């Protein structure tokens, strides 16, 4: 039986008189004080709302500037990428030109070697002809008289 009374003991005794009396609340006065407090809070909030609007406006301007800077940075980055590609193409072209110049120098050296060989050959031929003409002239003088 103790368990059955346990459930009922949790409920307050409603038929007993309370030992402490609650103070009587003056509702109209309390509502007036709350309205006055709300008016004070509203007076504080109006300038705060203006400050918040100004801050939001400044924030929007800052965000717009940041977006403009980011767009400009992207344009600069794209241009730099284009210039890097162009520079790489020019470096390849310069490498090809350098190789072509080296090849031309080798061909020029070979041509100069050939020309020098031809000059030597012509010089040897000219000296040989002069020697042959001298020998023929000498034979003509010796036998022709």
Give the torsion sign (CA, 86, 89, 94, 97). Answer: negative
Residue at 19 is within a domain: no
Residue at 6 is within a domain: no
Give the pLDDT of residue 13: 54
CB atoms within 10 A of CB 74: 10
Residue at 12 is within a domain: no
The total of structural domains in the chain comes to 1
Residue at 83 is within a domain: yes
Residue 68 exposure: Cα atoms within 13 Å on the Cβ side: 6
Range of the domain at 87: 29-144
Give the pLDDT of residue 14: 52
Residue at 24 is within a domain: no
pTM here is 0.45
Residue at 132 is within a domain: yes
Q: List, run by run, the mean pLDDT of 10-residue segments along the chain (145 residues).
A: 48 56 78 88 81 91 95 96 96 96 96 96 94 91 78
Residue 139 CA to residue 142 CA, distance in Å, equals: 5
Give the torsion sign (CA, 82, 87, 88, 93). Answer: positive
Give the pLDDT of residue 1: 45
Residue at 11 is within a domain: no
Residue 6 CA to residue 11 CA, distance in Å, equals: 10
3-state secondary structure 57-89: HHHHHHHHHHHHHHHHHHHHHHHHHHHHHHHHH
């Amino acid at each position: 039986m103790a368990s059955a009374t346990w459930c009922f003991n949790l409920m307050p005794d409603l038929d007993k008189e309370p030992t402490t009396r609650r103070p009587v609340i003056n509702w109209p006065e309390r509502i007036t004080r709350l309205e006055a407090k709300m008016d004070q809070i509203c007076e504080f909030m109006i300038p705060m709302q203006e400050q918040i609007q100004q801050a939001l406006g400044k924030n929007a301007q800052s965000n717009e500037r940041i977006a403009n800077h980011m767009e400009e940075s992207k344009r600069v980055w794209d241009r730099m990428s284009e210039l890097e590609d162009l520079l790489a193409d020019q470096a390849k072209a310069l490498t090809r030109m350098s190789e072509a110049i080296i090849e031309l120098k080798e061909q020029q050296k070979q041509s100069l070697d050939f020309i020098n060989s031809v000059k030597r050959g012509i010089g040897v031929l000219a000296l040989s002809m002069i020697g042959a003409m001298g020998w023929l002239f000498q034979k003509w003088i010796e036998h022709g008289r």
